[in-house]
Amino acid sequence: MIYWDHNAAAPVRAEVASLLARAFSQGGHGNASSVHAAGREARARLDAARARVARVLGCEPKEICFTASGSEADALALVGAFHARPVAERRRVVTSSVEHPALLGAVARLEREGAQVERVAPGADGRVREEDLLAALTPDTALCSLMWANNETGVVQPAAEISRACRKQGVLFHTDAVQAAGKVPLSLREVDADLLSLSAHKFGGPSGVGVLVVRKGVDVQALTPGHQEGGRRGGTQNIPHAEALALALELAASEQPQVASHVGALRDAFEQAVLAEVPGVAVNGAGAPRVPNTSNLRFDGVEGEALLIALDLEGICVSMGAACASGTLTPSHVLRAMGLTAAEARGSLRFSLGSETREDDVRQVVDALRRHVPTVRALAG
């Protein structure tokens, strides 16, 4: 099998799998809120995991809030920070129209609850123009959210520039960094965000654990009441998963330059070969800065789902867009926001490579596309 859907879920690293196996088989099941010896041991492990994550990101351990997913982290950031805002008259939320469905769902909830929301559209290359987003920041803006890198196109957004502008204007800034971790250098020294979301299964950790960074001085209202995570998220913490996330993040950060160089060269070779050998293909997001592992290709006159199935039958795993939106017939909101027609959006596939991708894989995928695209195109009429 050739697995090119790392933006949906990256394989769990062997080191992380070993850690989880030991954690679940060798005892140490204390609750971190208990005061007895087992509870104190659990608390020490949780604190250590929190400190390791903070060290990678360049923040303080107490600013790390463990969640069950990146989607939960996004919702806690947007809904929690908006309802805990110190200046009640600020009721405006600014974001982009190419955010992850989890973020857009949280924004839609705030809109139903009375927030004034502006969704800034990107250019044709999928990148939100800095000047367009800055123009949307008015004195009544409470919160701005802009993803670090897009999950479908891989386009890197101007999060660093917008974070600095928000800081000057007293606007809370959140960035969904789920697709940036392990692909670009990730540090709060680069993007001065008040809130930042991560999800372990995007960089070699297990599904079911994420992080929301909540910088000092920023309040969030818990979505699930409880005393855990500094009162920001109730519920007994999953300590093995927190440790697994910390390990996966450390490994991803340390290997990022080498992996980026490796997958970037393969991604570029893949795009060049497809454009040369398969007629009627374009790169969505071409011309914009992109994370090195992601290629979103538009096949003219092709039903993407049919092409995806044809590739799947050959053991090639790719995607039509956000994994959270799979199974729907609605064209990608990201590609539509970029100006593509519904047919063009439906004819697009995402190829997201990983560290295990090899040159032979590139050749096999290109050959499969060269054979299947004409057939699928002919069937579509």
195 strand-pairing partners: 174, 214
Inter-helix orientation angle 239-277/359-379, to 10°? 70
Residue 233 pLDDT greater than 60, yes or no: yes
Of the candidates 285, 252, 263, the residue with the CA atom closest to the CA atom of residue 157 = 285
User: Which residues, at least 6 apart from 209, have a Cβ–Cβ distance to it below 8 Å?
Assistant: 66, 67, 68, 69, 199, 200, 238, 241, 242, 244, 245
Q: Is 145 exposed, middle or buried (0-12, 13-18, 19+ CB in 10 A)?
A: buried
Tell me the pLDDT band of 87, cut-offs 50, 70 and 90: confident
Residue with tokens 């490994």: 251
Does pLDDT of 15 surpass 80? yes
59-86 pLDDT, tens digit each: 999 999 999 999 999 999 999 999 998 8
Distance CA 20, CA 102 (A): 27
Residue 96 β-bridge partners = 120
- Backbone phi, psi, residue 181, to 5°: -60, 125
pLDDT digit string, tens, across residues 160-210: 999 999 999 999 999 999 999 999 999 998 899 999 999 999 999 999 999
d(CA 96, CA 94): 7
pLDDT band at 29 (very low <50, low <70, confident <90, very high): confident
> What CATH class does 14-252 carry?
alpha beta
In this predicted structure, what is the pLDDT of residue 324? 52
Domains of the chain: which residue ranges?
2-6+256-380, 14-252
Closest C-alpha among 62, 33, 27 to residue 237 = 33
pLDDT value at 131 more than 60: yes
Are 2-6+256-380 and 14-252 in the same CATH fold? no
> Which residues are marked as active site?
324
For residue 328, the model assigns a pLDDT of 55
Q: In the CATH scheme, what architecture does the domain 2-6+256-380 have?
A: Alpha-Beta Complex (3.90)
Per residue in 295-350, pLDDT (tens digit) is 999 999 999 999 999 999 999 999 997 555 555 568 999 999 999 999 999 999 99
Of 31-40, 172-181, 354-363, least confident by mean pLDDT is 31-40
Mean pLDDT is lowest, of 32-41, 162-171, 244-253, 269-278, for 32-41
